[in-house]
Amino acid sequence: MNLDELLCTLESPIVIRPTRRMTQGELESYLDHAANILRGNADHSEFRGYVFALLFYKRISDCFDEEVRTQAATLTTAGMPKEQALLLARDPQNHHFIVPEASEWKAVARTAKGQLGQALNDAMLAIERANAHRQNNFDGILTGKIDFNKQDELPRDKLVNLINHFGSQAFDRAHVSDDLFGNAYEYLIRNFASKAGKSSGEFYTPAEVGFLMAEILQPQAGMSVCDWAAGSGGLLLQCIRHVKKHGGDVRQLQLHGQESNVTTYNISRINMILHGIPVWEHKQGDSLRDPRHLTAENRLKQFDRILMNPPFSLEDWGHDTVVAGDKFGRLSYGMPPASNGDWAWLQQIAKSLKDADPSEHNSAGVGGQGMVVMSQGVLFRGQPEQTEAEDGQNQKADAEYVIRRGFIEADLIEAIVVLPGKLFYGNNVPGCLVLLNRAKPAARKDKILMIWASRHFQKGNPQNLLRPSDLMRILVPWRAFGDLEAARCLIDEQEIHLVREVEELRDARMTDIEDAYGPVLEPLQRLEEELATLDALDLKVQSVKDAISPEHLYFHPLAPLQADVERIENQIVAAGRSDKAALKASLATPKTRFDVARKKLIDAIKARHKQVTKAVKELGKLQEERDSREQEVKLAAEREIAHLVDAAADLQRICASEDEARRYFTVVDRAEIEENEFNLNLPRYVDTFVPENVLPLTQATTQLTTATTAALTTQNALQSLLAKISTPGVNEGSA
């Protein structure tokens, strides 16, 4: 390498912050800020449709722009003229979806404040129309009940702030992967749920509850799955994850959903698209008043699995539409109260579950199962019929009692799980999970497993959380169906299963961090080695001269220049007096050339040293940041695994004793339920009483004596202090 090439290398800038993907944590914090922009006195639910539409619009615009740039660059490299390449790269046939050029984010975001709302409306309508004939059409997804000109709903200043915020970050795939963005979108849904007050429970179910429901229902490829109160689609996504995790083909999972709220319906459609779910049958409408998943004969479709989290104790549920008769035959067990729709939902599930078909041998032929989140009132509300002899007056049985009794006598209820309070956003009432089964195994006929799972959870604000260890306390008795010996055998298996879940989540987060930081930190080791070499250089004039050699990493270009100088100097020494003057004159040029080159090289080395030092320092900070984030992930996983190990040990203790186990779960037969007048309130069957800690008398006496002595000591000290303060002259001159 000659001098010019070396100088060029030394002077080339060090790029230490190339494009990198955001981590999950960074993206979540970024979206947190988007939600915070909307803080105020208004209910967050009023804004969520606008935020989700804007975020989706920014994502598809950035991804389409990225695809166009990539394809155009490829065509240009192949020799196609730039304008022609760009035109071909925008061809709709080359994309899964398209964004018209005039509707791209970068064009619309520059619109003046006064015209911004209309510009957004026009752009989103244009995008929907441009994709109308595609399988994944966006019909209404960006415009349904959304008008960016409605300043009373979304003040213009908040809109501008949101546009500026989303515009500050690229959301193409180079910066945010599909999985990352899909997960972040769910995070934003959860974020809104935590801030949306009373309305939040309508569209979001905590992920850990959805995971639990999928673990119990065990959806498989080939099955049909429905959520009649789909919300943002989170429960159906949990089914997809379950099938994928067990190696099933999610394309064979037949997904169905219905949602009454138009805004939430569109959020769920966006959620599915962002998670790469191309086909699912989703309807908009009130499932109780107007169920939309029907057969050709206008009957309710029946499904292999149903999972739901409908609004608790819905008052206006549609009693008026069915009071004269339900054309879908859903209310065969009784008419629910006009002011409470809980049993209307349960009867809809029962009606739309597949019956067992012995002729079918696939997994979908064993009968439908459904799991629903309910308020605990469904377990005990309503009184049986009372006669005058029994209570002094005649009283008909309450509607909910009649329906509940009908479900029990039809042997539809397989399990009940009572959950901790404050799990569900916008509702602090403790809920329960009710598992319905159209075809119970023979060993479970006329029996109901009851699990009291409200003791173990992680306290949080605003909502409590179920940890993997808390889920294990539910899954073990469920899989054993209350059999203690079977439960003891299952504990290790469930512990391993859930530890693996924690480890996979940890590994995914670690990979996410490494994908974000790895490419940026890749040059660090090389730069550190270069810095060590530069630090070792002695750049004094004589030291440089002494170090010059053809093999030297930095000084080798000076070797031939120095050789020219030394050759002439040697000639001067050997020459006679008459030749010395001419030789000395000829030395000036090569010596000047050498000195100039040496100075340039030393200056370049010093500049390089400064640049490398700065780069190593900045990359070192990034490395510390990465290491810190990785450590947080590792510690969080270690805590979860420790909780699982402790819970497994505790379950072994619980399952070793029938009396202790009954404090957590039990299997109840029909006869015992009849004795309790078909009341399913778990404290009637599970020993939910928490015993007080009994202190032995000797220990109590010791503690009382210790406390009394401490109190007397404190009292004496206070009296002594007061005496000093009240004595004249004690504090004189202390100032």
Q: What is the mean pLDDT of residues 395-405?
A: 92
pLDDT at 414 over 90: yes
Least confident window among 47-51, 543-547, 639-643, 709-713:
47-51
Asked if the model's pLDDT at residue 5 lies above 60, the reply is yes
Torsion of CA 458, 463, 468, 469, to 10 degrees: 30
Tens-place pLDDT, residues 664-723: 999 999 999 999 999 999 999 999 876 666 667 787 788 888 888 888 888 888 888 777
278 vs 315 pLDDT, higher one: 315
- Phi, psi of 370, deg, nearest 5: -135, 145
Contact by Cβ (8 Å): 63, 172: yes
Strand order in the sheet with 281-284: 281-284, 254-259, 224-227, 305-308, 369-375, 431-437, 413-418, 447-452, 665-669
Containing H/E element for 415?
strand 413-418
pLDDT value, residue 408:
97
Tell me, what's the pLDDT at 362? Answer: 44
Residues 235-293: pLDDT tens digits? 999 999 999 999 999 989 999 999 998 888 988 888 888 888 877 899 999 999 999 99
- The domain ranges of the chain are 19-195, 517-654
CA distance 424 to 310: 11
| % residues pLDDT > 70 (the chain) | 92
Residue from 232, 231, 357 nearest 302 by CA: 357
Query: Predicted confidence band at 663 (pLDDT cuts at 50, 70, 90)?
Result: very high
Rounded to the nearest 10 degrees, the angle between the axes of helix 82-89 and helix 45-77 is: 140
**C-alpha–C-alpha distance, residues 231 and 221, integer Å:** 23
Report pLDDT for 394: 67
For residue range 62-105, what is the model confidence (pLDDT) as tens digits?
999 999 999 999 999 988 898 898 989 898 888 888 999 999 99
Average pLDDT (587-597) is 89
**Least trusted range by pLDDT, from 6-10, 196-200, 447-451, 674-678:** 196-200
φ, ψ of residue 452 to 5 degrees: the values are -95, 100
Sequence-ordered strand ranges (E) for 573-700: 665-669
Q: Inter-axis angle of helices 484-521 and 24-37, to 10 degrees? A: 90
Specify the pLDDT at position 688: 87
474-490 pLDDT, tens digit each: 999 999 999 999 999 99
User: If pLDDT is split at 50, 70 and 90, which confidence band does 119 have?
Assistant: very high
pLDDT score at 200: 44
Residue pair 346/378 in contact by the 8 Å Cβ criterion: yes
Q: Cβ-count burial of 149 within 10 angstroms (0-12 exposed, 13-18 middle, 19+ buried)?
A: middle
Average pLDDT, the chain: 88
Q: What is the DSSP string of 425-479?
A: TTB-S-EEEEEEESS--GGGTTEEEEEE--S--B--SSS-B--HHHHHHHHHHHH
pLDDT tier at 364, thresholds 50, 70, 90: very low
Question: With bands split at pLDDT 50, 70 and 90, how would you rate the model's confidence at 637?
Answer: very high
> Which amino acid appears at position 557 of this protein?
P
Confidence tier at 733 by pLDDT (50, 70, 90): very low
**Region 301-305 average pLDDT:** 97
**Cα gap 722→727, rounded to integer Å:** 9
pLDDT band at residue 732 under the 50/70/90 scheme? very low
**Mean pLDDT for the stretch of residues 500-529:** 91
Please, what is the Cα angle at 515 between 509 and 516, to 5 degrees?
Answer: 95
Q: Does the domain spanning 19-195 belong to CATH 3.30.750.24?
A: no
* CA separation for the pair 311, 375 (Å, rounded): 9
Q: Does the bond joining 430 to the residue before it have cis omega, within 30 degrees of 0?
A: no
Asked if pLDDT for residue 137 goes beyond 80, the answer is no
Predicted confidence at residue 692, as pLDDT, reads: 64
C-alpha–C-alpha distance, residues 512 and 23, integer Å: 6
More confident residue, 232 or 14: 232
Which residue do the tokens 């070396």 mark?
6
